[in-house]
Structure 1
Amino acid sequence: MKIEIFSDILCPWCYIGKQRLRSALARFPYRDQVEISFSSFELDPSLPADSQETIEERTARSTGRSAQEVSAMLTYVTELARQEGLNYHLEGIRLVNSRTAHRLVHLASRQKKQEAMQDRLWTAFLSEHRSISDPTTLLELAVEVGLDPDEVQAVLDSDAYMDEVNADKQRALLLGITGVPFFVIDEKYGISGAQTSEVFLKVLETAWAETHPSTGLELASEAEGTCEGGSCPL
């Protein structure tokens, strides 16, 4: 079984959704036969690498919420993350361009370290307030997960893997994906948003049964926990 996860490092819901999928897989008897891959999705490709806009400012601007309401939303998402074992510190995060970070995730996939790289970037951004557009920071994070520093530096000094990032973007368009996280299972089932682990497990069981063989399931309905439209309303 293949699961393709469309996500952005800027998206707090994406890491929550990925953790919920992992919780479902822990209860899935055929988890050893599941292959997970990550596909790039830039929520806002126009963001500069040195952007000073905070997550509070962007959320307020994109949703029209007051500062107090935005603070409550951040607290809510932080608590949901905590329930999944994640230690978010969202206040004051500066939203920067994520393109180079996505390129590093593609490099990591060649060495079977894609998930480790993706997780490390999420933790650095959402928990540690580190810039995921800063070349020095990206080099440090990539080396932490075991990537070769010379290969990482070569990517940072070039546009390597930009074609792969663009191909992911085109694939998302073809699939009709407008927000993340979005999970594609066996090229047939789509799960939109950070659904509960129970929803993930149900779709996993259905997809497995169909190919081994048996029943079917409709596309999981979209719920809270999706970032879209060039922003991530929490």
Structure 2
Amino acid sequence: MKIDIWSDYICPFCTVGERHLALALEKFAGADDVEITWRSFQLDPSAPTEPTEKAPEYLARSKGMSLAEVKQMNSGLAERAAAVGLDFQWRDSVVANTFDAHRVGHLARAAGKGNEWDTVVKHGYFTEGANVADHGELTEFAAQVGLDADRVQEVLASDEYATDVVQEITMGRQLGVQGVPFFVFDGRFAVSGAQPVELFEQALAQASESSGEQ
């Protein structure tokens, strides 16, 4: 079974939803045969590479919400994250452009380390308050997953994989992706958002049954 996941590194719902999928896979008999591919998506392509504000202030400004509303929403997300073993330090998060992180993500995917890269970058962002647009931070993340530092710096100094990132974002929009996370099971079934573990269990079962019928 193949699962394509459109996701962005600064999306808290992505982190929670992906964790719910992981928990569902722990109960899925065919988990060893599941291949996950991360697909690029940007929530805000205009976000700066040098952050100028914390995530709560950014959300209040961009979504037309009050700071109190943003804090209440993020506190609820943090509770959901904690319930599945995630540490969401939302007060420390900064909004930064994720395009270069997605480019290195393609390099990691080519090296067979796409899953590890996604986990490390999201942990850095949500738990450690890292600027995921900073090339130094990205190089450190790459070292954690075993990517060659010189190769990573070569990619970051160029526009390598830029076309791949744009193509995946375009592909997602053609499929109707307007927000993330967005999960596609075997190219047939889609799940949008940070759905409960039980829904992912149902999607896995449905995709498995459908595959067996062919």
The bucket for the TM-score relative to the shorter chain is over 0.9
Give the superposition deviation at 1:130: 1.0
Give the superposition deviation at 1:70: 1.5
Q: How does 1:176-215 map to 2 (within 5 A)?
A: 176-213=176-213
Q: Could you list the runs of 5+ residues in structure 1 that have no partner in the other structure? A: 215-234
Between stretches 9-18 and 85-94, larger displacement belongs to 85-94
CA distance in 1 between counterparts of 2:210 and 2:144 reads 40
Q: Which residue of 1 aligns with 2:25?
A: 25
Which one-letter code corresponds to 2:56 in the other structure? E
Q: How many residues align?
A: 214
CA distance in 1 between counterparts of 2:72 and 2:47 reads 25
User: What TM-score, normalized by structure 1, do the two folds share?
Assistant: 0.89
Q: How does 1:1-234 map to 2 (within 5 A)?
A: 1-213=1-213
CA RMSD of aligned residues (A): 1.1
CA distance in 2 between counterparts of 1:69 and 1:173 reads 29
Which one-letter code corresponds to 2:68 in the other structure? Q
Which one-letter code corresponds to 2:136 in the other structure? T
Give the superposition deviation at 1:61: 2.3
Which one-letter code corresponds to 1:116 in the other structure? E
Which one-letter code corresponds to 2:181 in the other structure? P
User: What TM-score, normalized by structure 2, do the two folds share?
Assistant: 0.97
Query: Over residues 129-159 of structure 1, what are the superposed CA-to-partner deviations in whole Å (9 max), with x where a residue is unaligned?
Result: 1111111111111011100111111111111
Q: Which residue of 2 aligns with 1:217?
A: none
Query: Over residues 22-71 of structure 1, what are the superposed CA-to-partner deviations in whole Å (9 max), with x where a residue is unaligned?
Result: 00011111111110010000111111101313211222123333222221
Secondary structure of the 1:180 match is: coil
Which one-letter code corresponds to 1:184 in the other structure? V
CA distance in 2 between counterparts of 1:111 and 1:63 reads 37
Report if aligned partners of 1:105, 1:118 keep a CA contact under 8 Å in 2: yes
Between stretches 64-73 and 194-203, larger displacement belongs to 64-73
CA distance in 2 between counterparts of 1:185 and 1:146 reads 28
CA distance in 1 between counterparts of 2:51 and 2:116 reads 26
CA distance in 2 between counterparts of 1:7 and 1:181 reads 5
Report if aligned partners of 1:56, 1:92 keep a CA contact under 8 Å in 2: no
Report if aligned partners of 1:14, 1:180 keep a CA contact under 8 Å in 2: yes
Report if aligned partners of 2:142, 2:152 keep a CA contact under 8 Å in 1: yes
Which one-letter code corresponds to 1:202 in the other structure? Q
Secondary structure of the 2:6 match is: strand
Please identify which structure carries the higher helix content.
2
Which one-letter code corresponds to 1:126 in the other structure? F
CA distance in 1 between counterparts of 2:210 and 2:177 reads 24
Q: Could you list the runs of 5+ residues in structure 2 that have no partner in the other structure? A: none
Query: Over residues 107-130 of structure 1, what are the superposed CA-to-partner deviations in whole Å (9 max), with x where a residue is unaligned?
Result: 001111101011100010111011
